[in-house]
Structure 1
Amino acid sequence: MTSFKIPSAPRSIQKDNPIKFLLDSETIDCLAHNIALVHPVFDAQAFKRLALTNIAPLGIMDRSAHIAAALKATLPAKFSEAADILLQTLTPPNVHTDRLGLSVFFYLPHTRFIADYGRDAQHNSGEDPFDVAMRAQYELTRRFTAEFSIRPFLTHDFERTLNQLQQWLNDPDPHVRRLCSEGSRPRLPWGARIPQLIADPSPVLPILEALKNDPSLYVRRSVANHLGDIAKDHSTLAFEVCERWLTDADKDLKWVIRHAVRHPAKQGNATALAIRKAAGGR
């Protein structure tokens, strides 16, 4: 059998080459090829025609939604069946947490498909699609990231999604553990904000607590960035967390603390500056 394809991509964003071009005709061809391998009745030509129509002016996030809509039109109507087909096309999980390059953006439309069509029973013959969607999030975050696609679930089904993230906190894969923190950031760049967590971040503090000493810098950096998000709206709470963590903090946790308060420290906030100094910063 011919192997699955993933499009070529640069290691990093290139000047004068907008990131939206990561989702172009080559990506669509590869996606059609991969689906046809596991779902022979797939109408690849119809999918490619729909996916390429009017895609040129769209930015990368809108392109992912546009391609996801083409998938919805050409895969089986039942979400669980469509999601299973997409999961069968995945390449092996990423072993590393760095040096991944931009080719992983190939999976952005996959995550958008889960986000757009995995929250409503009407797309799944009346059956609750939640468990199927969570399984897909788990597998996709191991190849790319589900930090964008998990957010609509937090917004619309908060308690159940938060419970799922808590179940993943001890997963052996750092990509999955990072999702627990990164996906629940209240102000994730490129991602939809989570109003409930902007108003009250306390429900996700146990996640940060569980991951603050994670063995992976990839995960700890997310914890620091998440706490930095909280500091933008609830600085007193964020500073209290940092001050508590300073007790018996090792060098790795001190880095997390310094990183978490870097923005208010740059603005001259006296408490943030004192925390950074106590954590070994200048």
Structure 2
Amino acid sequence: MASEHGLKRYFDGEAARLLGDRIRLVRPAFDVDGYAAEVEARIPGKELKDRVLVLAEGLRTRLPAAYPDALPVLLSVLGDELAEGEGLFTTSWYLMPVARFVEEYGLDHPEASLDAIEEITRRHTGEYAVRPYVERHYALTMERVARWALSPSHNVRRLATEGIRPRLPWARTLTRFVEDPRPVLDVLEPLRCDPSEYVRRSVANNLNDISKDSPELALATALRWREESPTDETGWIVRHGLRTLVKKGDQRALAVLGATGGEHVRVARPVIGPGRVTIGDTLVIGFDIENTDDRPHTVVVDYAVRHVGGNGRGIPRVFKLTTLELGPGERRFLEKSHPIREVRTRRHHAGEHAVDIQVNGLVLATGRFDLDV
């Protein structure tokens, strides 16, 4: 998915013109030039969501005043449904203000708006638009979400899970599902081995959200899914859905994944290089990993980069490296390239940084490098 920072630049006067030209095909009196000029004048200094709101507000003042009359105009410009693999942020990104229009102005017309969200999500996404409806029209919306989960459309099935994620990025938290995620898990049940990768990724992300607040419930669900649906699709969902717990070294999550015997694994000859790097360089992490037991073991290998914070203490960030099967006495060499780059969520500080090699939740080796900024 594109970052919020990277995507925002697309929502400007040209985006308004792109959308306005499509509207003018069905509503010839639509003022495209005025719409584009207004958007261009109002967006400076605004981030993604506020820019999209500007475009939605411009639509509201130029379409019929009655929401039920304005909605069909917007739905008529949606185009064809996206096929599996077509990116909503590359193919139909300009429809984001249409979804925002329904999110902002349709709450007094929930039936028509939920119908519209279903149509929008076939061409773009309705994951943000549906969340206010969960909050204000809970029973009606959750009944619709349950139906969406059984849709023949992979886009609609994905909406069923993505729209009710407790901690969806760029969206406000659905507190009711943070406190009790069981209604969310009910929706995920028929999707736990979905044939669509697009849907499976959303199911896994949803389970990962749940694991942050209700780890016991997430673990019990993941274990049951593996036992009742021993398919590659379900296995992938479980592995990806427990990733936050695995990165924390949660032994229960590792056991669900079949990763045991970390005490029988040895990490030797860790090499972290070059010893001194700067922003833009690439760090190479290499080491030998050996199973010292006379039985095979499945091992989950991660590495944690402990960046120096402003107070001088290391702030760890865990990255996935691999999951592998080690036979009795087997030894392998693993290597990973790690780019050192600027990120918006963390400021780099000069000094000595550490890299921990973590196997089945246990830190088995540590290397160090110096960062110049």
In which range does the TM-score fall when normalised by the shorter chain? 0.7 to 0.9
What is aligned with 2:250?
269
Give the TM-score of the pair, scaled to structure 2: 0.67
Residue deviations 1:42-90, cap 9 Å, x none? 2333322332222121111111111101111111111111110001111
What is aligned with 1:239?
219
What is aligned with 2:101?
113
Letter in 2 for 1:220: R
**What secondary structure sits across from 2:165 in the alignment?**
coil
**Contact 2:88–2:125 (CA under 8 A) maintained in structure 1:** no
- Structure 2 Cα separation of the partners of residues 224 and 205 of structure 1: 11
Residue deviations 1:156-199, cap 9 Å, x none? 11111111111112211100000000000000011121111111
Judge which range, 52-61 or 193-202, deviates more: 52-61
What is aligned with 2:234?
253
Establish whether residue 85 from structure 1 lines up as the match of residue 65 from structure 2.
Answer: no
Residue deviations 1:121-142, cap 9 Å, x none? xxxxxxxx11211121011101
**Contact 2:13–2:37 (CA under 8 A) maintained in structure 1:** no
**Contact 2:17–2:33 (CA under 8 A) maintained in structure 1:** no
- Structure 2 Cα separation of the partners of residues 138 and 202 of structure 1: 23
What is aligned with 1:226?
206
- Structure 2 Cα separation of the partners of residues 68 and 100 of structure 1: 18
What is aligned with 1:4?
none
**Contact 2:110–2:137 (CA under 8 A) maintained in structure 1:** no
What is aligned with 1:142?
122
Q: 1:31 to 1:204 in 2, by over 3 A?
A: same
**Contact 1:51–1:67 (CA under 8 A) maintained in structure 2:** yes
Establish whether residue 62 from structure 1 lines up as the match of residue 50 from structure 2.
Answer: yes
**Contact 1:97–1:175 (CA under 8 A) maintained in structure 2:** no
What is aligned with 2:26?
38
Give the TM-score of the pair, scaled to structure 1: 0.87
Letter in 2 for 1:102: T
What is aligned with 1:7?
none
User: Of 185, 190, 205, which aligns to 2:185?
Assistant: 205
Q: Give how far 1:13 is off.
A: 4.8
User: Of 170, 179, 183, which aligns to 1:190?
Assistant: 170
**What secondary structure sits across from 2:92 in the alignment?**
helix
**Contact 2:191–2:199 (CA under 8 A) maintained in structure 1:** yes
Letter in 2 for 1:228: N
**Contact 2:2–2:89 (CA under 8 A) maintained in structure 1:** no
**Contact 1:224–1:256 (CA under 8 A) maintained in structure 2:** yes
- Structure 2 Cα separation of the partners of residues 98 and 32 of structure 1: 23
What is aligned with 1:126?
none
What is aligned with 1:9?
none
**What secondary structure sits across from 2:257 in the alignment?**
helix
Structure 2 spans left out of the alignment, 5+ residues: 261-297, 301-373
Residue deviations 1:103-150, cap 9 Å, x none? 422111110000000002xxxxxxxx1121112101110111111111
- Structure 2 Cα separation of the partners of residues 185 and 138 of structure 1: 17
Comparing both structures, which one devotes a greater share of its residues to helix? 1
What is aligned with 1:22?
10
Q: 1:164 to 1:157 in 2, by over 3 A?
A: same
Letter in 1 for 2:128: F
Structural RMSD (CA): 1.9
User: Of 137, 151, 159, which aligns to 1:179?
Assistant: 159
Residue deviations 1:216-240, cap 9 Å, x none? 1111111111011001000001011
**Contact 1:147–1:179 (CA under 8 A) maintained in structure 2:** yes
**Contact 2:84–2:196 (CA under 8 A) maintained in structure 1:** no
Q: How many residue pairs were aligned?
A: 261
Q: 1:141 to 1:99 in 2, by over 3 A?
A: closer
Bigger-Rg structure (1/2):
2
- Structure 2 Cα separation of the partners of residues 258 and 13 of structure 1: 23
Judge which range, 269-278 or 259-268, deviates more: 269-278
**What secondary structure sits across from 2:245 in the alignment?**
helix
- Structure 2 Cα separation of the partners of residues 250 and 174 of structure 1: 19
- Structure 1 Cα separation of the partners of residues 10 and 92 of structure 2: 9
- Matched-pair identity in %: 35
Comparing both structures, which one devotes a greater share of its residues to strand? 2
Q: Give how far 1:41 is off.
A: 2.4
**Contact 2:8–2:48 (CA under 8 A) maintained in structure 1:** yes
Letter in 2 for 1:263: T
Q: Give how far 1:99 is off.
A: 4.9
